[in-house]
Structures are given as structure tokens and as C-alpha cells.
Amino acid sequence: MAILFSSTSDNAAAWHEAVGRQMPDETLRVWPDLGAPEDIEFAIVWRPEPGLLARLPNLKGILSLGAGIDHLTGDPTLPRHVPLVRLIDPSLTAQMSEYVVLNVLRHHRRFDDYRRLQEARRWAPILPAPDTAQRRVGVMGLGVLGRDALAKLKPFGFPLRGWARRPQEIAGVETFHGAAGLMPFLGGCDILVCLLPLTTETQGILNARTFAALPRGAAVINAARGAHVVAGDLLAALDSGHLSGATLDVFTPEPLPTDDPLWAHPRVTVTPHIAALTLPATAAALMAESIRLLRAGKKPHGLVDLTVGY
């Protein structure tokens, strides 16, 4: 039996080495070198070719190379009876929180405005001095990533709030949930961070209506999925001055086409889906453990409930 590795962005050689170290007795096949489809017992994947997983009759587990699984659930042929495990890796979580803290502070300290002042060679402190106690930060999605980001923002003294699907309690964070809680939540977000999974319910959730619900001058950070944002609505909210800035790590499509207006917008920061990158060394060890548990008929950490969609 063998493990299949198929990714559109992860380094196959690095994964070959990491799997060899963590699972020395396993045979790794790197797509498109599939071999006999019936040999494949587990698949380690990121955006596999649609239909590929359905062709593997003896598949016992699908291991996502990322925390998100929307790159799999979009394939109507996904074998939904096969256990699907998403990546919950402390190194991924730590990177995401770094990205969130960095960009919350950048918006809070108005570094985009200071960049423009520098370009104009203007020495012009922006007053009044920034006060974290007056800057409310809200996180959409209170899962593994949202909770860690909030915990790491806490020492700075920002009033914190969060929104999830179900009621959540987090010390020091005002929480909201469900459709009824969305508008009250947004009304108190001077900086909004999106860390939601992409589902039919969350697609396009950052749109004209939700931007209008944010206080004037709010900034938006989206490190979740591009399809959460209606890009035209974002550009309109920035151009009208309702939003002061946006930091975007994810796009539809990726890579962001070179002629997309987001690239050149003076109030938008673009990063190429790097908020949290999967590291072969840590992720392969976690996947080895998931494979061991699946073979033993046990539930691995990160087993996805496909009926919920994330």
C-alpha cells in the first residue's frame, strides 16, 4: 500500500524527505506518478485534481495540507465516506497569529499613512496619539486560529470581540454568534479580522452590507479565503472613505491576476497567501499520527464533520 502526495503549491521534494523521516516504512507516490490506484491507502493533498480522490478504491483517509478544506469540498466527486482530516498544526497557528498581530498593529499605528508621508518626504506626526483602549478589534471565526489570534492580541489592551456560528465564551472577549449577532458585532469593530472557513454560509460575507455596518474608518484584514470578500464592494467602501484600509492574504482567483485593481490600490496591502504556510517537518509528524489513529479505527485531531462543512 502507498501514500499519495498531490499539491499545487507545496514542495514535493521536501515532503518526500519529511514523510521518509516520519513514516520510514511507507511508500510515497508523488502525483502525477500515481502507480496503481488501488495501492493508495492515504492521500496528502492540497487542491488535488478534481476527480482524483474518487479514483482511489482503497482510500482510508484524506489528509489536507492546510487547515481549510474548501479546496476539497468544492469537488462534487469527493468520496465523502472517507475520513477527511484538516491540518491543526501549532506552527501554522503561530504564523497566523503573527500575521494578525502584525497587521492589526500596522493599521492601529497607521503605518500605511506614514508610508505615504515618507514618499512625500513629509514630517507630520498623526495626532492624537494612538490608544489601544480606544481601538476595538473583532475576529470573525473563533476556532483554532481565531482564538489564538485573540489570545495574542490581548496583552496590547485592545477591547476584543469575536463572532462564531454557535455561542462561545472566551475570557476578556465580548462574543456574538449567528446571523442575529453579526450586525451588533460589526458595529463595534474598528479593525475586523476574518478567520472563517469558506462554506456556503460564509461565502461573500464581507460585502457592501457588512462593510456599511462597520464604524467609519474601520480597517479589514482577510486571511481566510478570497471568496469571503466581494472585491467590488470592498473597493467601493475604500474609495468612499468608509474603510481606511484592507490587508488581504487570499483572493479569488489565486494568483491574483496582474491587472486586478487590488494590486495598485493605495489603501490595500496584498500578500500572496502566506499568512500561515504548512511546514513539512511539523505537518508530516502530525499526519503520521493521524494515519496511525485511522488505521487503529480511532479519531484523529482535525477530523472534519462534512455535514457542518468545516
Q: What are the residue numbers of the active site?
A: 225, 273
- The verdict on 22 binding ligand NDP (CB under 6 A) reads no
d(CA 93, CA 72): 21
Candidate residues 223, 238, 268, 286; the one interacting with ligand NDP per rule CB under 6 A: 223
d(CA 238, CA 266): 9
In the block, which residue shows the cell 462534487?
76
- In the bound complex, what is the minimum distance in angstroms from residue 184's beta carbon to ligand OXD? 29
Find the binding residues for ligand NDP in span 125-144 (CB under 6 A). Answer: 141-144
- The verdict on 195 binding ligand NDP (CB under 6 A) reads yes
Query: Which option in ligand NDP, ligand OXD, none does residue 168 bind, with CB closer than 5 to 8 A by kind?
Result: ligand NDP
Q: Which residues pair with 243 in a beta bridge?
A: 218
- In the bound complex, what is the minimum distance in angstroms from residue 144's beta carbon to ligand OXD? 10
* Cα-only R_g, the chain: 21
Helix 90-108 × helix 144-153 angle, to 10°:
50
Query: Which option in ligand OXD, ligand NDP, none does residue 224 bind, with CB closer than 5 to 8 A by kind?
Result: ligand NDP
Cβ closer to ligand OXD: 23 or 276? 276
- In the bound complex, what is the minimum distance in angstroms from residue 141's beta carbon to ligand OXD? 12
Cβ closer to ligand OXD: 78 or 186? 78
Cβ closer to ligand OXD: 9 or 240? 9
Least Cα distance to 266 among 299, 239, 306 occurs for 239
d(CA 38, CA 55): 9
Asked if the peptide bond before residue 128 counts as cis, ω within 30 degrees of 0, the response is yes
Cβ closer to ligand NDP: 34 or 88? 88
End-to-end CA distance of the chain: 29
Burial of 84 (0-12, 13-18, 19+ CB in 10 A): buried
- In the bound complex, what is the minimum distance in angstroms from residue 242's beta carbon to ligand OXD? 28
Describe the chain by its helix, strand, coil percentages, rounded to 5: 35, 20, 45
- In the bound complex, what is the minimum distance in angstroms from residue 58's beta carbon to ligand NDP? 28
Cβ closer to ligand OXD: 28 or 67? 67
Which 3 state secondary structure label does DSSP give 46?
Answer: strand
Find the binding residues for ligand NDP in span 227-286 (CB under 6 A). Answer: 249-250, 273, 275-276
- The verdict on 7 binding ligand NDP (CB under 6 A) reads no
Sign of the torsion formed by the C-alpha atoms of 282, 140, 214 and 211: positive
In the block, which residue shows the cell 475520513?
83
User: Site residues (CB under 6 A) for ligand OXD?
Assistant: 66-68, 276
| Cell numbers found for residue 227 | 471568496
Cβ closer to ligand NDP: 23 or 103? 103
What residues make contact with ligand NDP under the rule CB under 6 A?
66-68, 92, 96, 141-146, 163-166, 168, 195-199, 201-202, 223-225, 249-250, 273, 275-276, 310
